[in-house]
Amino acid sequence: MSSSTQSNTLADVLKWEESGNHSREAVTIASGENMAVNEVAGKITKSTPATGTAGGGNTGSGTCTSVTAGENAKIGTYTMTALSATSFAVKDPDGYALPDATVDSAYTNAHLNFTINDGSPDFIAGDSFTIAVAAGSGNIVPVDFSAVDGTQDAYGITCADYDASAAALAGVLVVRNAGIMPDDLVWPSGATAGQKAAALAQLKTAGIIETTEV
């Protein structure tokens, strides 16, 4: 639910845009969402599995569970390779080393969080797990500052009311090169001044700027 009072029309916020619908983008509003005109929207760009995949030649019978993405998660495959029965080296999809993981201890990192659980028999050096972070659906939801799937970043502004409560719905966003008056933007309930400022800065990088033009 949004806390701001809904504006009556897009014109309350959008003061100019490029011709030929250049500033707009056709999108899909995610199923289950009910978005208001002038709502700041995020885009689902990443999808993370809940468990890691064990290497086919593993000796150890342990598992990798409680997987969640961090704010810096990359699309691609993360690899955890056993250094011993109790320690795993961790690499990101580009092959860069992250801090080692300890068996039976929660691993927390800006890239990924997970737990490698011990089993019987124990792990041996060379056992491995992979975690594949995939591209997200690309669907649109209200910006969510606590998310890690891409929707924590402001992607655009809704051009109309979109009730996708029952099923995904086609919609349109202003996503680039436009002038807005932000006072009537619709934000998530509890959004702070700092979060709003950061989101407006993200929109600015796409050419959506604050204007005094009425």
* Predicted local distance difference test score (pLDDT) of residue 64: 98
Apex 67 CA angle, 66 and 72, nearest 5 = 145
Report yes or no: 147 and 134 within 8 Å, Cβ to Cβ: no
Neighbour tally for 45: CB within 10 Å: 15
Report yes or no: 124 and 60 within 8 Å, Cβ to Cβ: yes
Phi, psi angles (nearest 5°) of residue 27? -135, 175
* Predicted local distance difference test score (pLDDT) of residue 212: 77
Q: E strands, 30-136, where?
A: 33-35, 40-43, 46-47, 53-54, 63-69, 76-82, 87-91, 97-102, 106-107, 112-117, 128-135
Q: Which two tokens stand for residue 25?
A: 């983008």
- Pseudo-torsion of CA 192, 197, 198, 200, nearest 10°? 130
Positive or negative, the CA dihedral 167, 171, 175, 179 is: negative
**3-class secondary structure, 123:** coil
Per the listing, tokens 């300890």 go with 102
pLDDT in tens, 160-205: 999 999 999 999 999 999 999 999 999 999 999 999 999 999 999 9
Apex 8 CA angle, 178 and 45, nearest 5 = 50
Report yes or no: 103 and 123 within 8 Å, Cβ to Cβ: yes
* Predicted local distance difference test score (pLDDT) of residue 8: 75
Q: Is the per-residue pLDDT at 2 higher than 70?
A: no
pLDDT in tens, 81-127: 999 999 999 999 999 999 999 999 999 999 999 999 999 999 999 99
pLDDT in tens, 31-83: 999 999 999 999 999 999 999 999 999 999 999 999 999 999 999 999 999 99
Per the listing, tokens 């041996």 go with 124
Q: Which two tokens stand for residue 194?
A: 């700092």
Q: What is the mean pLDDT of the chain?
A: 95
**3-class secondary structure, 15:** strand
Per the listing, tokens 């009910």 go with 34
